[in-house]
Amino acid sequence: MDISDIISGTKGLNITDRLCILSFALSMKKEDVLIKKEMRLNQEDVELIKSLIEKRTQGMPLAYITKTKEFYSEEFYVDESVLIPRPETELLVEEAIHIIKGMNGPVRILDVGTGSGVIGITISKHTGHRVICTDISSEALKIASINIKRAGLSDKIGLICMDLIAGIKDRTVYDVIVANLPYISQDEWDFVSEEVKGFEPKTALFGGKDGLEVYRRFIDALQGPLKDNGWFLCEVGGRLQAEAIKDMLVRKGFEVSIKRDYSGIERIVIGQWISLS
């Protein structure tokens, strides 16, 4: 069996999936897979490729099969312990980087619910500042640690296993806090694809009845570790959630703006704490 047999004989998968699986299994670039379509495969490679194809046809996300996901033009390691990074989250990172680059002196940054670490790593890499990343899942932090080492940022990023910001006492330590917490509501959960529900960690997705249960707890404690005039940025699931979080923040003395994603959905809430209340 050669590469062309796999490409032409695989039913139910698009060409992108087939090429990605072949590239991963054979440790080849996708363009080389196409160039070397007549290359014969040994039995071990054939069995591996078939097992990966079977996983994909059963709905396993491609990122979990190849253990890789691109984010902000970089490759990150992922597995079933962490949420697969979404393109929408790049907007959260862009806004955070823009704010941080406009600040003077050292900037203390906290990434809450870091998962695979892509937010904190990307912010640190593009600003040069130290970032503390937290997550309630020790397994997620193992993945974040792998990505931190791959990025060469072990001296720039710290990891803490804790529930939100429960272990942080000093409210003045952070200038910028970034969070991408679970925000899928009960009603929305019923319509989430089986590929997501069946494989990605529910604790990183489901935010309770209205999707805001975790954010309510977080915002109630936010003024503890946030510096006066500090910034808070988070990702949400649309207009209703964005407006609800905006109201919560305004009541606590924040000036708030909302940014739409590339599909026009209200996705990023940005607040600056200007009034001690």
Tens digits of per-residue pLDDT, 6-25?
Answer: 878 767 788 889 889 999 99
pLDDT on residue 275: 67
Q: Which of 47, 44, 52 is nearest to 18 (CA)?
A: 52
DSSP letter string, 45-88: HHHHHHHHHHHHHTT--HHHHHTEEEETTEEEE--TTSPPP-TH
Count CB-CB contacts under 10 A for residue 189: 16
Q: Give the pLDDT band of residue 222 (cuts 50, 70, 90).
A: confident
Name the average pLDDT for the chain. 92
CATH architecture designation of domain 68-273: 3-Layer(aba) Sandwich (3.40)
pTM of the model as a whole: 0.91
Contacts of 54 (CB under 8 A, 6+ apart): none
Q: Give the pLDDT band of residue 5 (cuts 50, 70, 90).
A: confident
Count CB-CB contacts under 10 A for residue 103: 14
Q: Quote the tokens at residue 121.
A: 């790593």
Residue 178 DSSP SS3? strand
Q: Residue 129 and residue 121: Cα distance in Å, rounded?
A: 10
Which whole number is the average pLDDT over 29-38?
86
Q: Is the pLDDT of residue 233 over 70?
A: yes
Which whole number is the average pLDDT over 252-256?
94
